[in-house]
C-alpha cells in the first residue's frame, strides 16, 4: 500500500493491488492564499473515486512515507473529524501476536499516522519520499512556519497514542470482527469485509471512521469490491487480547489461540457498573474465541459475556462527617431508572441479536445470592426479567434460552484460580448445555465439517471481570476436554494443551481487567492510578466507579476515536462519477413510467401523538386524570401511538428553598399516567419508554406496545437555568428518538416566573436551545419534528380589572393580543419559527386549589396562559389537530393543557435520493479533467437538507445560471480538450469582413500556425 499527495489541487491517492482510492476535499485551503487553517466547513465532506491505477498519472505526486523508522502503510483506518479537520488514518507499525492457523495472522498495532485532507498547514509533519538528479533516493520534509507546530502536533495526538499503545489489533488475512465459524477455514484465505454485519459491527472500533466508506464500497461492482477488500482500503481493528501458544495434542504440533474482542457499540458508558441501552447493547460486552489448529483439524469455540442486560445504575450514599468511614457495601444500592417494560424490550433485543448469530443461548448468572448485598437487588430484578422472557420466547419457539445460576464466590475463584483444574460442581451444572451446543470442527485432511457450534454461553457477573473470566474458562475447558475425548485421545496424555489453555485465560483476564479499569473515570481521573496502594485511589476504584461519568481524562481520546465528542459528525463521502453511473443504470433498467422520485420514497404512515403539560404544585392526587389524557370533547375514538407528558413542580417549590430530586414522586406520576393510558376502551397497552427528571421538572414518554419496535436511538438531555444555570428549580428535560426514519425531539421545561421577567425567560430559552445537544452534536432544530411544552410562565400584560371580564366574555383573541409569549414570537425573539394552535380555552393560571376561581390570595395574581405547547417541523411532518385545557382536574393551581398531533413518519431510500439530487451536478464530470485539475469542487457536494435546491455558487460558477454553468463564456472551438489544439491553438480569423452581417465563406477560427504562415 502506498500513499501519494499532489499539493495543488490537493489530492491524495492511495494505491494497493493495482487499484487506487482517490481522495479530494471539495474546496481545500492553502497557506499561500492566506487562509490556511481558518476555514470551517459547514458539512464535512470528501470526494472519493475508486479506479485502476493504469489510468492515473502520478508525475506531479509525492509519495508519503511513515515518519517512524521502517514504517509502512499497512492499512487504511478511515476518516476522522477533529476540530473540523478531516484526517486520514493509517496503520504504520505492527507486530505479529497470534496465528490462529498457518495461513492467518493477527497483528498488534504499534504505530498510527494521520494526514489532513483539506489543509496544507500541517504538511510540515509529513515525510515524503523524494529522488535527486542522480536518481538517489532520500527522505525529506518541507519547511513550514512554526506557527502551525503546536496545532499540527496535537491535532490527533491523543487518538494516535491510544491506538498505538498495543491494545488494538487487526488481521491482514481476515476480518478480525469475525469468528472462525463465520469466515470458515481456508487454506488460502482471501480477505472479505464483513464488519458491517448486524452483530460483527460492535467489535469494529474504527466503525465511525469508516461508516460512509463502507457504504461507498457497497456501490462498487463485485470484482472491485474484492479488490477493495484485499487491498486493505478498509482495515477493521478491534480491542482486547490476542495470543497464540505452541502446544501438543496426541504427540503432534498444535497451535492454541485466544482472541477476545471488546464491544464498542453501546451508547454511553462502555465499561463499569452500567447496564443496557435501548438497542440492546450492554457495558463490558466481550466475545472470546478459542481456536486449536493442527495439520489434521481446526477446532473453535466462542463464549460471550457482558453486564446484566437491563437498565440499572448504582448509587452511593456518603456521610458528611467522614466519607471514608461511612462508605460500605450497605451504603450502595441499585437504582432502576426505566420501567420494567422498557428494560424487557431492551433485554429482548439483546438476546435476539445473540440468537441471530449463535442460535440457542445459555444465560449463566454469576450474581451473588447474598441477601445482605446490594447486588442481590439486581439479581432478583434480572431473574424476574429472564423468567418472563423465557416464558414468552418458549411460546414463540424461535430459539431456546436456558437460565443457569452459578453463584460462585470470589473466595472460590481465588482459591481455584486459572489452573488446569476444572471444578466438578460447576461442570455438573453446565455439562448438558455444553453437549447440546457442540463446537466448530473442520477436518483438514478430508476437507469436511464434522461439527458446528449451535449455541452460546452468555456469562455475566456484576462487574464482569475476574468471576466472569473464571466461569468462561471453565466452560471452554470442558468443551476442549469433550472434543479431545470424541477424537479418541486420552486426556491424561494431553495435559499440555489444557495447561496452555489455562495460561491464556490468566493472561486474558489480566489484560481485559487492565483495559476495562483503565477507562472507568474516578474523581475525574482514571482507575489506572488505583494500582498505587493509597487510601484515596483504593476508595475511588472500589466505590465510585459506577457513579462518576466516564468522559474525562484519558478516555477523551477514545470518545474522539468513536466519534462521540459533541463537535464530531460523520464525514460525508461523495463519489460523483460512481453516483452518475449508478443513476444512469438505474434509470435505464427502470420502468418507462417517469416515477423515479416516487420510487425512492416509501409509503408515509400517519401516527397520532398526545402532548400534555401540567404544573402539579407538588401534589400527588388520588383523583382521576382520565379527562386530561382521554378528553371527551374530541371527535372519534382516541388512540395514541406516542404519549408525551411534561410535569412541572413534581416537588413543591418553597420560597428560599431549592428542592431536591424526588424519584419517588416521579415514579408515582409515571405509574399514574401509565395506568390511565391502559384504561382505554380499545384495550391498547402502552410501554413507558423513557423518563427524565431535572429537579422538579419531569418528562414521561410512553409508546403504544405495537409501535415500540419502530423506535430507536433514544437519547435524553437535561439543562439547568435556575440561579444562572446552577440550580435545578428551573430548566428543561429533552428526549430525542427516531420513529422509522423520522427524527423527533420532545422538550419539557419550566421557565423563570414573575410578571416582569420577560428577558430572563428569553435567556432561559436561549440557554436550553444551546444546552440541548444529542449524538453528533444534533440540536433540537435539527430534528424533523419538535414539540416544546411546559410552564413557560409568560403572563398577560393587562391588569386584573381588564383580564377577568374578558375571560368571562370568552374574548380570548382580544386577551391574546397582550400575551407576552405571543408578542415575543411575533417579533421573532423567542421560539422563532415555532407554531402554536389558536388558543380557545381560558388562562390556565392561577386558580385557588380545587376551585374554578382565579387567585383570591393577597397577591391576586393576574390570570395567564403560562402552560403552552409549541411545535416546529420540517416539510409539514407535524399537523396539530387539538389544543385545549382540562378544567375538571382542579387539585393544582394550574390546569393541565394538552395537544393532539398527527405525525407523518416515513422512510427514504438515501442512496436513490442522493443520486437523483446529484444527477444534474455531476453530468460531464471526468476523473482527469475535473477531479485532478480543479481547485474548487464544492458544487459537487450537497446534503440531504438541499432538497431540490441548486448547488452553491463558486468563483467560477453561479447557481442562477442555467445548469450551474460557468461564469466565463465557453466557445466550443476554443476548448483545449483536443491534444492537438494544446500545441496549436485556434485564434480568431483577423481576415473576416468588418461587417459581421456580411456573408462570407471564411472560417471564424483558424489555427495559430496557419495565421503565422498567412502573415509572412
915 or 72, greater pLDDT: 72
542 or 34, greater pLDDT: 34
289 is written with which cell numbers?
Answer: 474465541
User: Over 80: is that where the pLDDT of 913 sits?
Assistant: no
Reported confidence tier of residue 543, pLDDT bands at 50, 70, 90:
very low
Reported confidence tier of residue 695, pLDDT bands at 50, 70, 90:
confident
Instruction: Please return the burial class of 68, using the count of CB atoms within 10 Å of its CB with bins 0-12, 13-18 and 19+.
Output: middle
State the chain's mean pLDDT as an integer: 82
Q: Which pLDDT value is given to residue 746?
A: 97
Of the ranges 385-394, 582-591, 967-976, which one carries the lowest mean pLDDT score?
Answer: 967-976
Of the ranges 48-57, 142-151, 442-451, which one carries the lowest mean pLDDT score?
Answer: 142-151
Parallel, antiparallel, or unpaired: how do β-strands 238-249 and 252-262 relate?
A: antiparallel
Helix (H) or strand (E) holding 230: helix 222-230
Q: Which pLDDT value is given to residue 653?
A: 67
Q: Is the peptide bond before 9 cis (omega within 30 degrees of 0)?
A: yes
438 in the Ramachandran plot: left (φ > 0), alpha (ψ -120 to 50) or beta? left
Kindly state the greatest CA–CA separation across the chain.
Answer: 111
User: Over 80: is that where the pLDDT of 766 sits?
Assistant: yes
pLDDT digits (tens, 9 = 90+) for 2-16: 999 988 888 999 999
Of the ranges 116-125, 250-259, 966-975, which one carries the lowest mean pLDDT score?
Answer: 966-975
Q: How many whole angstroms separate alpha carbon 443 and alpha carbon 462?
A: 39
Q: At 301, is the secondary structure helix, strand, or coil? A: strand
3-state SS, one letter per residue, for 739-777: ECCEEEEEEEEECCCCCCCHHHHHHHHHHHHHHCCEHHH
Name the pTM for this structure.
0.77
User: Over 90: is that where the pLDDT of 450 sits?
Assistant: no
Number of other residues whose CB lies within 10 A of the CB of residue 535? 8
User: Over 70: is that where the pLDDT of 282 sits?
Assistant: yes
pLDDT digits (tens, 9 = 90+) for 859-887: 899 999 999 999 999 888 999 999 999 99
Give mean pLDDT, residues 549-562: 69
464 or 919, greater pLDDT: 464
Q: Which pLDDT value is given to residue 538?
A: 41
948 or 219, greater pLDDT: 219
Reported confidence tier of residue 923, pLDDT bands at 50, 70, 90:
very low
Q: Which pLDDT value is given to residue 228?
A: 94
Reported confidence tier of residue 152, pLDDT bands at 50, 70, 90:
very low
pLDDT digits (tens, 9 = 90+) for 358-401: 999 999 998 887 777 888 889 999 999 999 998 887 655 678 89
Q: Which pLDDT value is given to residue 930?
A: 59
Question: Helices H, strands E: what count in the chain?
Answer: 25, 38
Q: What is the DSSP string of 697-743?
A: EEEEEEEEGGGGGGEEEEEEEEEEEETTTTEEEEEEEEEEEEETTEE
512 or 119, greater pLDDT: 512
1011 or 328, greater pLDDT: 1011
Beta strands in 432-531 (DSSP E): 440-443, 448-451, 455-460, 521-522, 525-526
Give mean pLDDT, residues 845-849: 94
Instruction: Please return the burial class of 999, using the count of CB atoms within 10 Å of its CB with bins 0-12, 13-18 and 19+.
Output: exposed
178 is written with which cell numbers?
Answer: 469475525
Write 718-724 long-range contacts (CB < 8 A, 24+).
718/692, 718/693, 718/694, 719/694, 719/767, 719/768, 719/771, 719/772, 720/694, 720/695, 721/751, 721/752, 721/763, 721/764, 721/767, 721/768, 722/658, 722/695, 723/658
Reported confidence tier of residue 597, pLDDT bands at 50, 70, 90:
very low
User: Over 60: is that where the pLDDT of 921 sits?
Assistant: no
Q: Which pLDDT value is given to residue 92?
A: 93
Q: Which pLDDT value is given to residue 737?
A: 92
Give mean pLDDT, residues 947-965: 58
CATH topology of domain 602-905: Deoxyribonuclease I; Chain A (3.60.10)
Q: How many whole angstroms separate alpha carbon 567 and alpha carbon 515?
A: 26
User: Do 113 and 92 form a contact (C-beta atoms < 8 A)?
Assistant: yes
Helix (H) or strand (E) holding 433: helix 424-437
pLDDT digits (tens, 9 = 90+) for 79-109: 999 888 899 999 999 999 999 999 999 999 9
Q: Which pLDDT value is given to residue 962?
A: 55
Q: How many whole angstroms separate alpha carbon 720 and alpha carbon 548?
A: 19
Residue extent(s) of CATH 3.60.10.10 domains in the chain: 602-905
User: Do 615 and 648 form a contact (C-beta atoms < 8 A)?
Assistant: yes
Reported confidence tier of residue 955, pLDDT bands at 50, 70, 90:
low
Percent of the chain scored above 70 by pLDDT? 78
Q: Which pLDDT value is given to residue 176?
A: 95
Give mean pLDDT, residues 714-733: 79
Q: Which pLDDT value is given to residue 906?
A: 74
Q: Which pLDDT value is given to residue 259?
A: 98
410 or 105, greater pLDDT: 105
User: Over 80: is that where the pLDDT of 942 sits?
Assistant: no
User: Over 60: is that where the pLDDT of 35 sits?
Assistant: no
> What are φ and ψ of residue 103, in 5° steps?
-105, -5
User: Over 50: is that where the pLDDT of 320 sits?
Assistant: no
712 or 229, greater pLDDT: 229
User: Over 90: is that where the pLDDT of 704 sits?
Assistant: yes
User: Over 50: is that where the pLDDT of 216 sits?
Assistant: yes
The b/e string for 587-624 (b: 16+ C-beta within 10 A; e otherwise) is eeeeeeeeebeeebeeeebebbbbbbbbbbbbeeeeee
Q: Which of 181-185, 462-466, 533-537 is most confident?
A: 181-185
Number of other residues whose CB lies within 10 A of the CB of residue 184? 13
User: Over 70: is that where the pLDDT of 312 sits?
Assistant: yes
Of the ranges 88-92, 157-161, 589-593, 901-905, which one carries the lowest mean pLDDT score?
Answer: 589-593
403 is written with which cell numbers?
Answer: 437460565
* Cβ within 8 Å of residue 766, ≥6 positions away: none
288 or 393, greater pLDDT: 288
Reported confidence tier of residue 927, pLDDT bands at 50, 70, 90:
low
682 or 507, greater pLDDT: 507
User: Do 889 and 895 form a contact (C-beta atoms < 8 A)?
Assistant: yes
Q: Is the peptide bond before 795 cis (omega within 30 degrees of 0)?
A: no
Amino acid at each position: 500500500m502506498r500513499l501519494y499527495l499532489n499539493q495543488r489541487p490537493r489530492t491524495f491517492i492511495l494505491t494497493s493491488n493495482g487499484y487506487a482510492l482517490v481522495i479530494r476535499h471539495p474546496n481545500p485551503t492553502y497557506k499561500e492564499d492566506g487562509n490556511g487553517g481558518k476555514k470551517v466547513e459547514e458539512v464535512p465532506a470528501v470526494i472519493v473515486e475508486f479506479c485502476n491505477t493504469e489510468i492515473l498519472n502520478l508525475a506531479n505526486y509525492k509519495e508519503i512515507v511513515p515518519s517512524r523508522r521502517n514504517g509502512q502503510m499497512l492499512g487504511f483506518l478511515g476518516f476522522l473529524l477533529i476540530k473540523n479537520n478531516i484526517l486520514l488514518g493509517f496503520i504504520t507499525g505492527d507486530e505479529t501476536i497470534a496465528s490462529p492457523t498457518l495461513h492467518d495472522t493477527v497483528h498488534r498495532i504499534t504505530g498510527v499516522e494521520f494526514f489532513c485532507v483539506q489543509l496544507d498547514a500541517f504538511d510540515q509533519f509529513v515525510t515524503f519520499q523524494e529522488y535527486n538528479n542522480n536518481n538517489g533516493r532520500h527522505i525529506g520534509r518541507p519547511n513550514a512556519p512554526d506557527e502551525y507546530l503546536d496545532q499540527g502536533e496535537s491535532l490527533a495526538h491523543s487518538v494516535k497514542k491510544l491506538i498505538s499503545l498495543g491494545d488494538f489489533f487487526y488481521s491482514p488475512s481476515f476480518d478480525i470482527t469475525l469468528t472462525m465459524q463465520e469466515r470458515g477455514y481456508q487454506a488460502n484465505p482471501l480477505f472479505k469485509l464483513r464488519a458491517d454485519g448486524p452483530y460483527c459491527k460492535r467489535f469494529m472500533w474504527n466503525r465511525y471512521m469508516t461508516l460512509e466508506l463502507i457504504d461507498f464500497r457497497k456501490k462498487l461492482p463485485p470484482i472491485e469490491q474484492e479488490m477493495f477488500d484485499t487491498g486493505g482500503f478498509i482495515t477493521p481493528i478491534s480491542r482486547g487480547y490476542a495470543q497464540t501458544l505452541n502446544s501438543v495434542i496426541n504427540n503432534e504440533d498444535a497451535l492454541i489461540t485466544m482472541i477476545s474482542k471488546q464491544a464498542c457499540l453501546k451508547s454511553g458508558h462502555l465499561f463499569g457498573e452500567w447496564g443496557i441501552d435501548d438497542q440492546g447493547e450492554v457495558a463490558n460486552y466481550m466475545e472470546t474465541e478459542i481456536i486449536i489448529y493442527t495439520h489434521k483439524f481446526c477446532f473453535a469455540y466462542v463464549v460471550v459475556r457482558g453486564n446484566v442486560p437491563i437498565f440499572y445504575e448504582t448509587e452511593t450514599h456518603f456521610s458528611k462527617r467522614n466519607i471514608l468511614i461511612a462508605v460500605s457495601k450497605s451504603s450502595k444500592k441499585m437504582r432502576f431508572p426505566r420501567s420494567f417494560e422498557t428494560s424487557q424490550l431492551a433485554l429482548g433485543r439483546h438476546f435476539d441479536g445473540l440468537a441471530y448469530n449463535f442460535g440457542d443461548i445459555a444465560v449463566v448468572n454469576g450474581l451473588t445470592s447474598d441477601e445482605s448485598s446490594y447486588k442481590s437487588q439486581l439479581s432478583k430484578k434480572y431473574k424476574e426479567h429472564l423468567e418472563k422472557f423465557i416464558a414468552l420466547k418458549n411460546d414463540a419457539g424461535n430459539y431456546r434460552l436456558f437460565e443457569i445460576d452459578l453463584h460462585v464466590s470470589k473466595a472460590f475463584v481465588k482459591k481455584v484460580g486459572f489452573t488446569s483444574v476444572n471444578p466438578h460442581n460447576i461442570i455438573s451444572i453446565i455439562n448438558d448445555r455444553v453437549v447440546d451446543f457442540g463446537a466448530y470442527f473442520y477436518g483438514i485432511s478430508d476437507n469436511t465439517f464434522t461439527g458446528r457450534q449451535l449455541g452460546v454461553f452468555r456469562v455475566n457477573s456484576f462487574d464482569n471481570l475476574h468471576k466472569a473470566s473464571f466461569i468462561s474458562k471453565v466452560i471452554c475447558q470442558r468443551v476442549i476436554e469433550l472434543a479431545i475425548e470424541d477424537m479418541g485421545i486420552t486426556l491424561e496424555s494431553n495435559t499440555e494443551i489444557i495447561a496452555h489453555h489455562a495460561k491464556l485465560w490468566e493472561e486474558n483476564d489480566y489484560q481485559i481487567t487492565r483495559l476495562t479499569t483503565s477507562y472507568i473515570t474516578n474523581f475525574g481521573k482514571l482507575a489506572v492510578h488505583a494500582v498505587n496502594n493509597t487510601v484515596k485511589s483504593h476508595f475511588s476504584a472500589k466505590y465510585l466507579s459506577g457513579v462518576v461519568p466516564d468522559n474525562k481524562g484519558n478516555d477523551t481520546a477514545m470518545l474522539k476515536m468513536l466519534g462521540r465528542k459533541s463537535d464530531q459528525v460523520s464525514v460525508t463521502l461523495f463519489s460523483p462519477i460512481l453516483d452518475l453511473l449508478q443513476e444512469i443504470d438505474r434509470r435505464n433498467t427502470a420502468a418507462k413510467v417517469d416515477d423515479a422520485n416516487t420510487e425512492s420514497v416509501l409509503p408515509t404512515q400517519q401516527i397520532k401523538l398526545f402532548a400534555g403539560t401540567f404544573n402539579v404544585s407538588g401534589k400527588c392526587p388520588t383523583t382521576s386524570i382520565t379527562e386530561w389524557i382521554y378528553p371527551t370533547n374530541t371527535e372519534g375514538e382516541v388512540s395514541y401511538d406516542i404519549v408525551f407528558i411534561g410535569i412541572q413542580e413534581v416537588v413543591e417549590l418553597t420560597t428560599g428553598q431549592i428542592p431536591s430530586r424526588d424519584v419517588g414522586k416521579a415514579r408515582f406520576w409515571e405509574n399514574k399516567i401509565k395506568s390511565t393510558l391502559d384504561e382505554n376502551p380499545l384495550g391498547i397497552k402502552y410501554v413507558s419508554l423513557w423518563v427524565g427528571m431535572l429537579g422538579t421538572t419531569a418528562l414521561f414518554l410512553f409508546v403504544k406496545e405495537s409501535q415500540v419496535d419502530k423506535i430507536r436511538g433514544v437519547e435524553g438531555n437535561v439543562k439547568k437555568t435556575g440561579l444562572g444555570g446552577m440550580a435545578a428549580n428551573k430548566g428543561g428535560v429533552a428526549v430525542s428518538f427516531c420513529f422509522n426514519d423520522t427524527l423527533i425531539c420532545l422538550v419539557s421545561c419550566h421557565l423563570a416566573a414573575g410578571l416582569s421577567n420577560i428577558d430572563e425567560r428569553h435567556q432561559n430559552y436561549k440557554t436550553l436551545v444551546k444546552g440541548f445537544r444529542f449524538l453528533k452534536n444534533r440540536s433540537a432544530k435539527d430534528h424533523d419534528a419538535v414539540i416544546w411544552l411546559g410552564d413557560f410562565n409568560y403572563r398577560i400584560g393587562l391588569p386584573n380589572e381588564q383580564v377577568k371580564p374578558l375571560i368571562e366574555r370568552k374574548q380570548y383573541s382580544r386577551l391574546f393580543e397582550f400575551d407576552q409569549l405571543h408578542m415575543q414570537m411575533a417579533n421573532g425573539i423567542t421560539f422563532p419559527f415555532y407554531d402554536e394552535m389558536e388558543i380557545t380555552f381560558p388562562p390556565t393560571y392561577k386558580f385557588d386549589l380545587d376551585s374554578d376561581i382565579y387567585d383570591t390570595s393577597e397577591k391576586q395574581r393576574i390570570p395567564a396562559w403560562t402552560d403552552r405547547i409549541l411545535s416546529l417541523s420540517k416539510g409539514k411532518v407535524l399537523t396539530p389537530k387539538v389544543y385545549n385545557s382540562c378544567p375538571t382536574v382542579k387539585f393544582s393551581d394550574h390546569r393541565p393543557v394538552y395537544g393532539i398531533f398527527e405525525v407523518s413518519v416515513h422512510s427514504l431510500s438515501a442512496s436513490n435520493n442522493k443520486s437523483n439530487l446529484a444527477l444534474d451536478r455531476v453530468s460531464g464530470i471526468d476523473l482527469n479533467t475535473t477531479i485532478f485539475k480543479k481547485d474548487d469542487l464544492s458544487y459537487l457536494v450537497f446534503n440531504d437538507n438541499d432538497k431540490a435546491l441548486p448547488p452553491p455558487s463558486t468563483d467560477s460558477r453561479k447557481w442562477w445560471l442555467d445548469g450551474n454553468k460557468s461564469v466565463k463564456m465557453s466557445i466550443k472551438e476554443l476548448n483545449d480538450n483536443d491534444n492537438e489544439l494544446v500545441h496549436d491553438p485556434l485564434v480568431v480569423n483577423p481576415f473576416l469582413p468588418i461587417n459581421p452581417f456580411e456573408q462570407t465563406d471564411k472560417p471564424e477560427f483558424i489555427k495559430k500556425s496557419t495565421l503565422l504562415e498567412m502573415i509572412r
